[in-house]
Amino acid sequence: MKKDIVCQQEVFGVIFENIVSSPLEVKTKALAIFLFQGKPLDVSFKPIDQALDGLINNLLENKEFRGEEEETYIIPTLGKLKAERLIMVGMGKEEDFNHDTIRKAAAYLVKAIKKIAIQEYVAMMPEFVNLDEKTLARSFVEGTIMGFYDFKIYKTEEKEKNRKIETVKLMWSDNSKIKKANEGKKVGEVIANAVNYVRDLGNQPANVMTPSRLASEAQKLSEEYDNINVKIFSLDDSVKMGMNLFYAVAKGSNEPAKFIILEYNMNREDLPLYAIVGKGITFDSGGLSLKPSEGMESMKYDMCGAAAVLGIMKAAAELKLPIRLVGVIPATENMPSGSATKPGDIMRSYTGITVEIVNTDAEGRLILADALGYVSKNYKPRAIIDLATLTGACVVALGHYASGLFTKDDSLAEKIIKAGEKSGDRVWRLPLWPEYYEKIKSDFADIKNVGGRPAGAITAAAFLSKFIVNNVSWAHLDIAGTAFVDKERAYIPKGATGAGVRVIIQFLLDEIKIRNRNKSV
């Protein structure tokens, strides 16, 4: 089914296996162990230390290896162990241990492995940490797959580099752990592969990742998964339905715009319905409110919300989540031209609100307004969550370490924040108080699309909230700072990061758990 390279990780196809063995028995090119900083050697490592004549303890005592985050140390075992090498991986201080520690350690291990050309390694699971086997296996697999990622398909020389590793084994102390570990492995594989898929979509340049290409990616998902349907509306169709804000952005571009709808499990009316909406600006030049040329190339990432929606749909189908899910992607370029929207133009939205477009570079909120109006009117989901690289102001507020969360629903906020912490795809809430709405009042229309510089991320979210009808619960994730980065860290590569996938999938998994719990009482 894989027609062309979309997700490199799947092409390289690392196989994960949960095995039961012991550090003295396991035969491998490299055995990895995980250690906390400043902690005496765990009992489970004592046999290894003895076999190596006390070398590990020595290294710890001499502070040659400290166990700090990011630290790895490779020891050739010279026949003293059946494993040819021992790789020590730091997890940082035990008191700082959190849900992300294992993911990061797994990714730093990948970096060490990449330097030595081996096809296979075994990681001894740190069963002494405060995580159940399922979560431990899931986190390790996620960190490994996300850590392997790089985008080299246009690098003529480096294309083959990643093909080296074929098998990664997770080693456990006894059989009772394997069932849960296998469950965790599967979930981790699905989620991390979806993240890497989203990264691939995001990293593609705008001449490749056009609105039509986003539509064909959606189409491919529907061919691959029986229970995903796709509907694709042209710009003409969208205008006939009344989506004039979407039209206002699309009309300046020569690339055909697409309004894409994906539905998962839609015939299962017994299942609760959720909706996700993603900003699909495949290139944001700013339109007539043209952006400065410096850094404009990064506006190819302005479709990362759309990519996240595709990744979430794919993961939901692979995990066979017992929910219904609708994904909506308004996809277009934002370009200046003779047919482009002019600052000051007024348009009527899908829901009937008139909007004065004072700045054509605030285009994301325009296309999302019609998409949010469309979903909240035509579907009655329990919640709509939109994902958008919406404002530079959000990057100023939160940097690259958390997505902005905006919602009036406190319970939804709490759930999304928790899902963010668990998944490592963190969000931070900002307010939507009535005062902010003053800023988007227009002299000539119902509202205008920009509320000035102060609180730019909030006024953008306030604008979006105006287009939700039927009182549907709604949350907005501004992923402008998290969707792409220019400095790599642990399992986050340079370029597109896949932000939004992990937090939303975790949110949905938690929702399913809550529902099952309520059903059984």
| Catalytic machinery residues | 291, 365
**Tokens 């119902």 -> residue:** 446
**Tokens 């550090």 -> residue:** 23
Can residue 333 be called a binding residue for ligand BES (CB under 6 A)?
Answer: no
Query: For ligand BES, which residue of 71, 363, 370, 511 counts as binding (CB under 6 A)?
Result: 363
117: amino acid identity, one letter: A
Query: For ligand BES, which residue of 218, 317, 402, 480 counts as binding (CB under 6 A)?
Result: 480
Query: For ligand BES, which residue of 450, 461, 472, 504 counts as binding (CB under 6 A)?
Result: 450
Which letter does DSSP use for residue 342 in this model?
A: P
Shortest Cβ distance from residue 56 to ligand BES (Å)?
A: 45
Cα separation, 117 vs 308, in Å, equals 33
Can residue 263 be called a binding residue for ligand BES (CB under 6 A)?
Answer: no
When the beta carbons of 128 and 401 are compared against ligand BES, the nearer one is 401
Can residue 497 be called a binding residue for ligand BES (CB under 6 A)?
Answer: no
Can residue 89 be called a binding residue for ligand BES (CB under 6 A)?
Answer: no
**Reduced 3-state DSSP string for 371-407:** HHHHHHHHCCCCEEEEEECCCHHHHHHHCCCCEEEEE
Element (H, E) at 278: strand 273-278
Query: For ligand BES, which residue of 364, 381, 404, 498 counts as binding (CB under 6 A)?
Result: 364
Q: CB under 6 A: which stretch of 187-195, 215-223, 269-277, 383-391 binds ligand BES?
A: 383-391
When the beta carbons of 50 and 359 are compared against ligand BES, the nearer one is 359
Query: For ligand BES, which residue of 100, 200, 255, 302 counts as binding (CB under 6 A)?
Result: 302
The binding site for Zn ion (CB under 5 A) comprises: 281, 284, 302, 361, 363-364
Cα separation, 4 vs 30, in Å, equals 33
151 touches 495 (CB < 8 A):
yes
Q: CB under 6 A: which stretch of 4-12, 98-106, 361-369, 490-498 binds ligand BES?
A: 361-369
189 touches 141 (CB < 8 A):
yes
First to last CA, the chain: 43
SS3 state at 35 = strand
Can residue 184 be called a binding residue for ligand BES (CB under 6 A)?
Answer: no
Query: For ligand BES, which residue of 456, 493, 498, 500 counts as binding (CB under 6 A)?
Result: 456
Burial class (CB in 10 A: 0-12, 13-18, 19+), 73: middle
Cα separation, 521 vs 517, in Å, equals 7
Cα separation, 226 vs 270, in Å, equals 18
Polymer length in residues for the chain: 521
Binding partner of residue 420 among Zn ion, ligand BES, none, CB cut-off 5 to 8 Å per kind: none
Shortest Cβ distance from residue 450 to ligand BES (Å)?
A: 4
When the beta carbons of 300 and 415 are compared against ligand BES, the nearer one is 300
For residue 297, what are its two tokens?
């190339």
Can residue 142 be called a binding residue for ligand BES (CB under 6 A)?
Answer: no
When the beta carbons of 72 and 360 are compared against Zn ion, the nearer one is 360
Binding partner of residue 395 among ligand BES, Zn ion, none, CB cut-off 5 to 8 Å per kind: ligand BES
Contact string (CB under 6 A) for ligand BES, positions 390-419, x = contact: xxxx-x------------------------
Can residue 238 be called a binding residue for ligand BES (CB under 6 A)?
Answer: no
Nearest-10 crossing angle of helices 501-520, 178-203? 140
**Tokens 């509306």 -> residue:** 233
Shortest Cβ distance from residue 203 to Zn ion (Å)?
A: 17
Can residue 362 be called a binding residue for ligand BES (CB under 6 A)?
Answer: yes
When the beta carbons of 383 and 485 are compared against Zn ion, the nearer one is 485
Burial class (CB in 10 A: 0-12, 13-18, 19+), 3: exposed
Shortest Cβ distance from residue 58 to ligand BES (Å)?
A: 49
Shortest Cβ distance from residue 282 to ligand BES (Å)?
A: 11
Shortest Cβ distance from residue 140 to ligand BES (Å)?
A: 31
Shortest Cβ distance from residue 383 to ligand BES (Å)?
A: 24
Can residue 389 be called a binding residue for ligand BES (CB under 6 A)?
Answer: yes
Cα separation, 472 vs 449, in Å, equals 22
When the beta carbons of 178 and 395 are compared against ligand BES, the nearer one is 395
CB environment 306-337: b (16+ within 10 A), e (fewer): bbbbbbbbbbbbbbebebbbbbbbbbbbbbbe
Which letter does DSSP use for residue 83 in this model?
A: B
Shortest Cβ distance from residue 291 to ligand BES (Å)?
A: 7
DSSP string, 207-237: TTS-HHHHHHHHHHHHHH-TTEEEEEEEHHH
**Residues at the site binding ligand BES, with contacts judged by CB under 6 A:** 284, 302, 359, 361-364, 389-393, 395, 450, 456, 480
